[in-house]
Structure 1
Amino acid sequence: MIGYVARRLLLGVLQVLLVAVGVFALTEALPGDAAVTIAGDYPDPAVIAGLREQLGLDRPVWERFADWLVAASQGDLGTSLVGPRSVVEVIGAAIGPSSLLAGLALALLVPLSTGLGMLAAHREGGRVDRAITSTTLGLYAAPEFAMAILLVTVFAVQLGWFPPTAIGGSLIADPALLVLPVLVLLLRPICSLSRLVRAGVIDAQRSPHVQHVRRLGLSPARIRFCHVLPNAAVPAVQQLARTADWLLGGVIVVEAIFVVPGLGTALLDAVSARDLPVVQGLALVFACTTVLVNLGADIAARVLSPASEVGR
């Protein structure tokens, strides 16, 4: 296990480096730069040239990237080009709302999807199974932005039960601001996870191992939670890792619709302003999150099912 983790971490470092190179190259390919954005709608070429020199944008691309890479390895992600704050401060201010939304969604996602999956698998092909399967298929087909707009229209505008956006409010002081964003974040993941749990439970119930413990006279509850569920959880754990990565990545569409000042909103603002240091810093956070979350999922899958080939 130690060797496996070490190999995955080394591969993860390489993946993060490739992401940094790709983001830098794509950002450089965008028309305009931070100097043009700062100069405004009626830019003066002399002013733009001065801003580029002041911001260091007149230096060669490879030189700027090398300096950033060396500084990033020491924990310094640079300073925002369009504001007085450091990149670490920008990310620190945005990571709180995103982490709160993601944490609440994950805390509700695991028990709800597990319960729905086990309930559907209890009587395969029955009315409850068909109802849950049909509902989850329909919800999964709907994109996040469409569900968000629908929920805002019905529950915020027409009924007035919840605030439509987070403008001027605090997510912690006013929990009502969290209801609609968290609900949108839950809809698709709960559909995919519950279907994976259902399929895993059905397969596990038919396995020779479970048939054997049934012959030993163990109680149905013990068989279900001690033998069926751990084996059924392996594919669900990996899907949960992808879901966690998606949530922690900022959920750009959801944050944009509900005006939540999280990582996704910070990324959109940085891209529109050509603020390269902030874009690079956020890309580094997203890449590291992806590597660590998927590594944790593979380790959990190997622990739950050591005989499987997961992660090999």
Structure 2
Amino acid sequence: MTLTRYTVRRLPLAVIQVAAVATLIFLLTEALPGDAAVVLAGDSPDPARVARIRADLGLDRPTHERFADWAGGLARLDLGESLVSGRPVSDIVLGALAPTALLAGITLALLVPLAVATGVSAAVRQGGLLDRALTSTGVALYSVPEFALAMVLIAVFSAYLGWLPATAIGGLSATVLVLPLLVLLARPLSSTGRLVRAGMIDALDAGYTRHAGRLGASTRRARYAHALPNAVAPAVQQLARTGDWLLGGVIVVEAVFVIPGLGTVLVDAVADRDLPVVQGLALLFATTTILANLAADLATFRLVPRA
């Protein structure tokens, strides 16, 4: 089967998944307790005032009518308007996307070469000092939660040494990004590096690699031209999950370092019961997950083609 045919077969499933997730997101957010009318009414809301606000916002309409309007808007790429600010949800999301995309992009750009380098270095020295050191360090870093690692880094490099800023309150800069990037890299580098190591060990022991050596291929060529493509195939799926996590799971990191990204917007929207914003962000995260896994499947198919 060619890559094109495989892609054509997978795309309809991705579209169905996005539609199903959109429906589920709307139903789950509708089930959240309270709504924006209660928040907008103040600390001691009068029931009549809450009712008027709900009527003004259209929250008193039947669920199926509001879902039909929302789904119709999605078909036109319209995510609706914020119940709190009245701004288009798309503007809010796009305004917060840049810091999150910057963090995610730099993290992925650093993660891929670092994971391959550490995994291959450990595999070709299996059982050696470097292998044991990298494996032990990786397990230790993976076991530390993001918020705990962030607190330690802030305490050491910001509060004690004074080398790096602790938050992005003064604006994003190269120095501000250092600590968040270290936190975001720690766990993905550990898990992806271990997968590359395991895949590389299996690939180096495989018959096709040994056969390449018997045909006169150098050790370097056998490792990187024959073993490495098969070794990184399992790690591609992990990279897809990492890319998804970087967009949807940096809420803690953005909160700790006061970075005005999607995570911060989501926290504020949940607190305000601003359902259109919550729905728009949840749909973005879900769609990113589906597309990232689709891209990973296509990359894996390309690296290890099947009949």
Say whether the fold is shared (TM-score over 0.5). yes
Contact kept, 8 Å, 2:103 with 2:181, in 1: the verdict is: yes
Aligned residue for 1:166, secondary structure, equals coil
Aligned residue for 1:195, secondary structure, equals helix
The aligned residue for residue 175 of structure 2 is 176
- CA offsets 1:70-120 (integer angstroms, 9 cap, x no match): 111111111000003100100000110000000010011011111100110
Separation (CA, whole Å) in 2 of partners of 1:17 and 1:272? 26
Give the alignment of 1:161-240 within 5 angstroms.
161-169=163-171, 171=172, 174-240=173-239
Separation (CA, whole Å) in 1 of partners of 2:8 and 2:262? 29
TM-score by length of 1: 0.95
- Percent identical: 60
Separation (CA, whole Å) in 2 of partners of 1:25 and 1:14? 17
Q: How many residues align?
A: 305
Alpha-carbon distance, 1:2 to partner: 3.4
More divergent stretch after superposition (248-257 vs 118-127)? 248-257
The two structures, once aligned, show a CA RMSD in angstroms of 1.3
Alpha-carbon distance, 1:284 to partner: 1.4
Closer, same or farther: CA 168–46 of 1 in aligned 2, 3 Å: farther
The aligned residue for residue 29 of structure 1 is 31
The aligned residue for residue 151 of structure 1 is 153
Q: Is 2:280 aligned against 1:292?
A: no
- CA offsets 1:275-312 (integer angstroms, 9 cap, x no match): 1111111111111111111111111101111138xxxx
Aligned residue for 1:152, secondary structure, equals helix
Q: Is 2:62 aligned against 1:63?
A: no
Which residue, 36, 47, 51 being the options, matches 1:45? 47
Give the alignment of 1:78-93 within 5 angstroms.
78-93=80-95
Unaligned runs of 5+ in 2: none
Unaligned runs of 5+ in 1: none
Separation (CA, whole Å) in 2 of partners of 1:299 and 1:262? 29
Contact kept, 8 Å, 2:25 with 2:283, in 1: the verdict is: no
TM-score by length of 2: 0.96
Contact kept, 8 Å, 1:250 with 1:262, in 2: the verdict is: no
Give the alignment of 1:70-109 within 5 angstroms.
70-109=72-111
Query: Amino acid of the residue matched to residue 47 of structure 2?
Result: P
Separation (CA, whole Å) in 1 of partners of 2:31 and 2:302? 44
Separation (CA, whole Å) in 2 of partners of 1:72 and 1:142? 39
Alpha-carbon distance, 1:224 to partner: 1.6
Which residue, 123, 129, 132 being the options, matches 1:130? 132
Alpha-carbon distance, 1:46 to partner: 1.7
Q: Is 2:264 aligned against 1:265?
A: yes
The aligned residue for residue 276 of structure 2 is 277
Alpha-carbon distance, 1:250 to partner: 5.0
Query: Amino acid of the residue matched to residue 231 of structure 2?
Result: A
Query: Amino acid of the residue matched to residue 168 of structure 2?
Result: A
The aligned residue for residue 244 of structure 1 is 243
Moved over 6 A (4+): none
Aligned residue for 2:222, secondary structure, equals helix
Query: Amino acid of the residue matched to residue 62 of structure 2?
Result: P
Q: Is 2:111 aligned against 1:113?
A: no
Contact kept, 8 Å, 1:250 with 1:263, in 2: the verdict is: no
Alpha-carbon distance, 1:5 to partner: 2.1
